């Protein structure tokens, strides 16, 4: 029941939000219509509703099926196979909601009267940008660096947006569906 009450509270304050048709488990999951409403909603959740902890920032790439050419894997002739298996062509899954967008997913927690809430925000794959939460939650600093590193989503107002997990010299962003690995000095 707390779920519905909190969702109603937020929707009353921000009528432009909508309930996500595919929520994360049973948690209240809200979808943001545009990047501009991100900071006001997060600030309201933190200051007025007591969601004082940012669990996670992550992203999903909704581009079509992964291109097998993007893998580093070499096609070797297997001793028990007549000929090397050709790379299977990428086949779209029927019914999968492919679209040209990244979805940013934010999870926030409240410890008094415990509850977890999820927020989703679509950003375009061309020039993906969103506002940084680093000024509201210090922990967003590294989380957003990771999302930037692996998906290449830029966070406006981030204090130090550098790669965090991969080599500084890596070309591209590995968790994008169209990532193709370029040979670096360690692959030789």
Chain positions contacting another protein, by CB under 8 A: 71-73, 165-167, 170, 174, 179, 181, 184, 186-188
The residue among 71 and 98 lying less far from another protein, judged by its C-beta, is: 71
User: How far apart are CB 93 and another protein at their closest, in Å?
Assistant: 22
Q: Residue 149 in contact with residue 128, Cβ under 8 Å?
A: no
The residue among 63 and 163 lying less far from another protein, judged by its C-beta, is: 163
CA separation for the pair 18, 44 (Å, rounded): 16
What is the Cβ-side half-sphere exposure of residue 97, based on CA atoms within 13 angstroms? 8
Report CA torsion sign: 69, 75, 81, 82: positive
User: How far apart are CB 84 and another protein at their closest, in Å?
Assistant: 15
The residue among 31 and 145 lying less far from another protein, judged by its C-beta, is: 145
CA separation for the pair 100, 60 (Å, rounded): 11
User: How far apart are CB 98 and another protein at their closest, in Å?
Assistant: 23
Q: Residue 121 in contact with residue 25, Cβ under 8 Å?
A: no
The residue among 68 and 157 lying less far from another protein, judged by its C-beta, is: 68
The residue among 8 and 90 lying less far from another protein, judged by its C-beta, is: 90
CA separation for the pair 147, 151 (Å, rounded): 6
User: How far apart are CB 134 and another protein at their closest, in Å?
Assistant: 23
User: How far apart are CB 158 and another protein at their closest, in Å?
Assistant: 21
- Provide CB contacts within 8 A for 176, sequence distance 6+: 61, 63, 150, 151, 152
- Provide CB contacts within 8 A for 163, sequence distance 6+: 145, 148, 149, 170
User: How far apart are CB 56 and another protein at their closest, in Å?
Assistant: 21
The residue among 80 and 186 lying less far from another protein, judged by its C-beta, is: 186
Helix (H) or strand (E) holding 149: helix 140-151
């Amino acid at each position: 029941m707390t779920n519905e009450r909190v969702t109603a509270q937020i929707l009353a304050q921000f009528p432009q939000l909508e309930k996500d048709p595919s929520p994360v488990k049973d948690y209240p999951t809200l979808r943001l219509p545009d990047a501009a409403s991100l900071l006001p909603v997060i600030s309201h959740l933190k200051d007025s509703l007591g969601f004082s902890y940012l669990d996670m920032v992550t992203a999903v790439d909704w581009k079509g099926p992964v291109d097998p050419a993007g893998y580093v894997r070499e096609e070797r002739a297997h001793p028990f196979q007549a000929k090397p298996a050709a790379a299977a062509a990428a086949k779209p899954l029927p019914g999968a909601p492919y679209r040209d967008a990244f979805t940013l997913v934010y999870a926030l927690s409240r410890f008094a009267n415990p509850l977890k809430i999820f927020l989703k925000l679509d950003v375009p794959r061309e020039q993906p940008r969103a506002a940084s939460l680093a000024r509201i939650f210090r922990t967003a600093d590294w989380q957003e660096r990771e999302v930037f590193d692996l998906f290449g989503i830029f966070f406006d107002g981030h204090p130090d947006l550098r790669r965090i997990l991969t080599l500084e010299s890596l070309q591209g962003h590995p968790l994008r569906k169209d990532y193709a690995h370029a040979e670096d000095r360690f692959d030789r």
